[in-house]
Structure 1
Amino acid sequence: MHCTRISLSLRHSRNATVYMYRIVNLPVKIELVKLHKREHKSEPFLRVNKFGQVPALCVERQKGQVKFVLSESSAILKYLSEKYPSIVSESKMYSDDLREKAKIWSALDWYQTTIRSSAAGVSWHAFVAGNMGGKVSLELAKHYEERLKMSLDVLETLRLGDTFPFLNEREHPSIADLLVIEDIVNLVVLKGSPFREELSSLDQLLAERPRVRKWRDAVMRINKPLWDEIHGVLEMVAENASKKIDSESRRRRFDDVASMSRL
């Protein structure tokens, strides 16, 4: 029996595994884990994955025991691609050729220390931390934003080309495209950040990098209805947070005007 626990709450990189699973119709079972309810730290989940992390891949559960657990989206995507080579290779998201595989691995490894660390840092310190019981920080968000811009510049000039829109100038998307794009599009949460005026928005970042924008659009078009379904929750959370900020701003202006009128 194969089971996969994947969070669909505010967790970076979670959607790449879901997107791949739904696109190529892999024979795995999806179980949703709600981070905002701390289900990933609950005793039942920790019995499955002692790291308390999502996504987590659970393989060959027999007599209530889990024989193999794998965390980290990059490792899970590679494992599933190797486990079901005929299914994934047919979609052209992976390859039987070692050199082609190595190029995909290279993109995934590069992402971990560049896009992943910087974009996740911006999102966390500008928005997510405040929704997970922590504190947001403009100073830290700005620090990671500078690193993010440098990483996006490398993506624009070296990792993407003009012949084909996908990473490594592939004609077809790979599992690397699905994963690398996630931390970038998750920056939509910045519209709901209290620092939204001080930080570059996702639209601004993409407008300055046409290849990255073209690549983002190409990954979205792989299955646009599915993309919208998976990412709709994040959009809704960001929009609601933005409306709340606007409402509080209007209330403060009203209070200021009322205070001035009493002087």
Structure 2
Amino acid sequence: MAAIKVHGSPFSTASQRVFATLYEKDVDFEFVNVDMRTGEHKKEPFLSLNPFGQVPAYQEGDLTLFVCMAMAESRAITDHIAQKFASKGAQLVTGEAEMKVWLQVEINHFEPASSQLGWEQVFKPMFGMTTDPAAVEANEAKLTKVLDVYEARLSKSKYLGGDQFTLVDLHHLPNLQCLIGTPTKKLLDSRPKVSAWIADITGRPAWAKVLAMQKH
């Protein structure tokens, strides 16, 4: 039995970041599905792992890490995994200041607009709710500014954090995957460097394993 358990959902973007990191690091783990459609994440025994009722909850021996907003905390878990298993799999951290800056760009600039666009165009319809066109328009305007910065950055380096794939790029994957299946994809396709970067990182074997989890 794997020493690590991840209690989460294959459809949760926060869970996907943790799954992707473990796959990139070639670390065995046990996936414990939490069915959010039934409200399982708001009940015991899951609440004993995460009192905030958010996924994922990460167990490693006596250590339990969880998220309360499904944003910064999931990234803290991926950083823990990357540091703890530094000698295994892909090297996802460089220790360079440049990488640390782009980690902050992702969570403070890309995440807000992209997550709202995913919510409006992917998750609302999934839950039988109606997409708000005004919210989509407003957040596409915000995302446009971020993608312009990315296009310039990617004309100078292969990846956002430098010349190697790191947590910076990995943290983008769940929201990018959502946007690829929406009309917002036009913003991604219209920028050659961004488009090539997305094709590169979404084509990684570790990410294919994350997507495969949704089929079981």
Give the shorter-chain TM-score range.
0.7 to 0.9
Please tell me whether residue 29 in structure 1 is matched to residue 9 in structure 2.
no
Measure, in 2, the Cα distance between the counterparts of 1:103 and 1:32.
36
- Structure-2 residue corresponding to 1:258: none
Is 2:141 the counterpart of 1:146?
A: yes
Distance between the aligned counterparts of 2:43 and 2:83, measured in 1?
31
Q: 1:227 aligned to 2:207?
A: yes
SS at match of 1:69: strand
SS at match of 2:13: coil
Counterpart residue identity of residue 174, structure 1? T
Q: Tell me the equivalent position of 1:253.
A: none
TM-score by length of 1: 0.70
Structure showing greater radius of gyration is: 1
Tell me which protein shows more helix as a share of its residues: 1
For residue 173 of structure 2, the aligned residue among 159, 163, 181 is 181
Contact kept in structure 1, 2:41 and 2:54, CA below 8 Å: yes
Give the unaligned 5+ runs of structure 1.
62-66, 191-199, 237-263
CA distance in 2, matches of 1:5, 1:69: 11
Q: What's the RMSD between the two structures over aligned residues?
A: 2.4
Q: Distance in 2 between matches of 1:17 and 1:77?
A: 6
Quick check: 1:168 aligned with 2:151? no
The letter of the residue matching 1:68 is T
Report matched runs for 1:107-256 at 5 Å: 107-132=102-127, 134-158=129-153, 160-162=154-156, 164-170=157-163, 172-190=164-182, 200-202=183-185, 204-223=186-205, 226-231=206-211
* CA displacement 1:163-196 (0-9 Å, x = unmatched): x4211331x2112111123212211342xxxxxx
Give the letter aligned to residue 203 of structure 2. R
Runs of 4+ in 1 over 4 A off after TM superposition: none
> Residue 16 of structure 1 aligns with which residue?
17
Contact 2:106–2:172, Cα closer than 8 Å, also in 1: yes
Q: Structure 1 CA distance, aligned partners of 2:212 and 2:184?
A: 18
2:58 match: secondary structure: strand
Question: Relative contact order (alpha carbons < 8 A, sep ≥ 6): 1 or 2 greater?
Answer: 2
Q: How many residues align?
A: 208
Return the letter of the residue paired with 2:168: A
Tell me, which stretches of 5 or more residues in structure 2 are unaligned?
A: 68-72
Distance across 2 between alignment mates of 1:149 and 1:233: 31
Alpha-carbon distance in 2 for matches of 1:147, 1:37: 34
What residue in structure 1 maps to residue 70 of structure 2? none
Q: Which moved more, 1:24-33 or 1:113-122?
A: 24-33
TM-score of the aligned structures, taking structure 2 as reference length: 0.83
